[in-house]
Amino acid sequence: MTPTSDNPVALTSAQLALIRRIVAKRLPDATVRIFGSRARAKAKPHSDLDLLVESDAPLTLRQRRLLADDFDESPLPFRVDIVEYAELNNSFAASILARSAPLAMAKPVDEASR
């Protein structure tokens, strides 16, 4: 299934709100997409969350550390992996983009039936 704004991601509304707050705090100008099993709503409860970051400049080591620290210290019950778009080869990037959901538009599973 290709995610759209109508298909839910495997996150609750509380988890999604927390992820959006952390991303907005640390990467306010970046475009962030959810990919992997959570984007396809196929995740198990403790499956990791894969985030694809698109930004004008590469993330600094400090940005990566602060972002990792924020996620590690959060109550999220899963690991969050950050991947930068610029680090991917073209075919893998295209594959991820085709199967990803924009973080800003993602709909949580607990709101899917509304």
Which residues participate in catalysis according to the annotation? 48, 50
How far is residue 110's CA from residue 107's CA, in Å, rounded to a whole number? 8
DSSP 33-81: EEESTTTTT---TT--EEEEEE-SSPPPHHHHHHHHHHHHHSS-SS-EE
